[in-house]
Amino acid sequence: MQAAKDSFYMALRGRLAQAFPARAIAAGGTTRPALVVTENDQPSVTARQHDAFYLQWGEARPLRPATSTLMAMTCTVSYASAGSDQNGGLDRGRMVAEMQSELLGICSPAVTRKFDYTGATPADLSSSIFWTSPVFRPAKAAPNCEAGEASVTVYFYPEVNQA
Amino acid sequence: MSSNLFARQSQMQPLAVAVRAYVAMVNRNNETTLPFDPSAQGEFNLDQPPQPFFDVGWVENFKRTSATKYEALRTGSRSDLVAQFRSQYDAGVEFDFPCWGKLQMALAGGGQQFNVLATPITSPLMSSGGTAIPAVYVQEGGSVVELPMTADALANFQIGDLVAVDWDYSGQMGYIGSGPAGGYLATALDGPSHVDLIRRVTFNVARVSNVATTSLFLGQSLIGGAQPGMGVQKVCALLDREGDSYFQEWAALFVVAGSTGGRTCFYYPRLQAAASPGETQREVEAPLFANMLHAKLRAMPSIDPNDGETVLCYRSYFPAKNAKV
């Protein structure tokens, strides 16, 4: 299950860095793609910043336990923006829409190889994970901000001995 | 047996969540197979089927059917019932394979199951595969998982390749293919121009797991074995056709393994396709759907040597350990 989570994150992070290099955050003295997994990062990073994507994993469930080991796991991607200073924050809605476009972009193609990232070198686990298109909805925002959430269902085979 | 009367009763209900399927090859020259013997093989580990069965995975929508006619013999002015008899014995089984593979496609498709051989870019385009890259040949000392070859030959393969391993076609007639028959030729074809024919239909197919300095290693055992002189060619895809005249024939075993009760086994000594290739689509959760291979099979007759009866299917039930019988 961890391999599926890590592979999804690494796929989106790589695509974000390549397609939208300006979408970055400063953390720990370095700049990195603005995609944070809340269960993995330091509190200083997981404290929500504007103009960044935050991934939170939800329930995981088997889909057809009788005949298949396929599982589905929900991932919620949160984001918010206060707009730009030069526009006095009036473009916050447009900034959120831009982030939604970026998220749609990095979620496609909706498939990636599954790797085990626990070792020094990622190990190819010989299968893929795949996911649904993001479903967007508005989220509660701080004053003078616009926020949104997207749900993505990630499918994977746990590939552990379930005999 | 348990002294708890209620437990003895509850264990009589063979509740289950799925049906597991296994197939075994039929010797097409005499239409026989090694039987499934419930006494010796019945309560096997589902992941380790007894010889000669191959695991083809869980199946869905498993349904047995029978069209055997039950008829009455009557006599007299009142047409009184004297006896019953059965006629036009006919039975079958229908189900869906969630998993696709060589054996699953063969059983569900029913006709010739093609290995689409890799071709050079110069090959003419053909619907079941063009003129293939020439075979390389197995050397002495091989096994079902190791194919010794020359260094030149090994250079043709990479880890992960699918390969077909079988003899060159040389003009013979009858059933062809090592292991389970892959096809039947009523008339001989020209050998030199059909040299890859057997490898196009053979079930002797596996995936390359390692390319060593003197051998190709396979991730699965070749079900028809490997012998020096057999040709090896890369396979790109598996293919079947609507409109084929050949009938696959397999023995099949279906196991309903009870979660709370006993085990039920259905053994068909001979099954042939009763419908052309098709699929069943089942929604997993929108928009995802499973595209399952649909199998509709007809049971062919075989003789039970215990009493000489002609039968189509055997059903055996293994009561749970504490169940009332």
User: What confidence tens digit (pLDDT) does each residue in B130-166 have?
Assistant: 999 999 999 999 999 999 999 999 999 999 999 999 9
Q: Is B285 on the interface with A (CB under 8 A)?
A: yes
Q: Is B290 on the interface with A (CB under 8 A)?
A: yes
Query: What's the gap in Å between the CA of B57 and the closest CA on chain A?
Result: 8
Out of A63, A66, A72, the one facing B17 most closely (by C-beta) is: A66
In contact, A141 and A150? CB cutoff 8 Å: no
pLDDT, residue B38, reads 93
Q: Is the model's pLDDT at A91 over the cut of 80?
A: yes
Residues B93, B312: Cα–Cα separation, whole Å: 11
> A146 has which bridge partners?
A81
**CB burial of residue B172 (10 Å; 0-12, 13-18, 19+):** middle
Q: Which of B6, B18, B38, B52 is nearest to B203 (CA)?
A: B52
* pTM score of the predicted model: 0.87
In contact, B183 and B201? CB cutoff 8 Å: yes
Are B98 and A64 inside 8 Å of each other by CB? yes
pLDDT, residue A41, reads 82
Out of A65, A68, A163, the one facing B98 most closely (by C-beta) is: A68
pLDDT, residue B324, reads 80
Best residue in B55, B96, B97, B284 for a mutation probing chain A (most A CBs within 10 Å): B284
Residue ranges in chain B whose pLDDT is less than 50: none
pLDDT, residue B1, reads 55
Residues B231, B250: Cα–Cα separation, whole Å: 25
Which chain B residues are Cβ-neighbours of A72 within 8 angstroms?
285
Searching chain A, which residue's CA lies closest to the CA of residue B59?
A: A67
Residues A153, A64: Cα–Cα separation, whole Å: 16
Are A66 and B18 inside 8 Å of each other by CB? yes
Residues A131, A32: Cα–Cα separation, whole Å: 24
Give the pLDDT band of residue A24 (cuts 50, 70, 90). very high
Pick B169 or A126 by higher pLDDT. Answer: B169
Q: Is B17 on the interface with A (CB under 8 A)?
A: yes
Are A68 and B58 inside 8 Å of each other by CB? yes
Residue B9 CB: number of other CB atoms within 10 A? 12
pLDDT, one tens digit per residue, over A45-77 is 767 789 999 999 999 999 988 888 899 999 999
Which chain B residues are Cβ-neighbours of A155 within 8 angstroms?
288
Are B59 and A68 inside 8 Å of each other by CB? no
pLDDT, residue B2, reads 61
Are B290 and A72 inside 8 Å of each other by CB? no
pLDDT, residue B300, reads 96
pLDDT, residue A163, reads 45
pLDDT, one tens digit per residue, over B229-254 is 999 999 999 999 998 899 999 999 99
pLDDT, residue A110, reads 95
Are A153 and B285 inside 8 Å of each other by CB? yes
pLDDT, residue B317, reads 93
Q: Mean pLDDT in chain A?
A: 92
Which chain B residues are Cβ-neighbours of A67 within 8 angstroms?
18, 57-60, 98
Could you give the residue ranges of the DSSP H alpha helices within B50-150? 102-109
Residues B147, B167: Cα–Cα separation, whole Å: 14
Are B284 and A67 inside 8 Å of each other by CB? no
Q: In degrees to the nearest 10, what's the CA dihedral of A45, A25, A27, A86?
A: -100
Residues B202, B115: Cα–Cα separation, whole Å: 7
Q: Which helix (H) or strand (E) holds A32?
A: strand A30-33
* Total CB pairs under 8 A between chain A and B: 25
pLDDT, residue A46, reads 67
Residue B44, amino acid: F
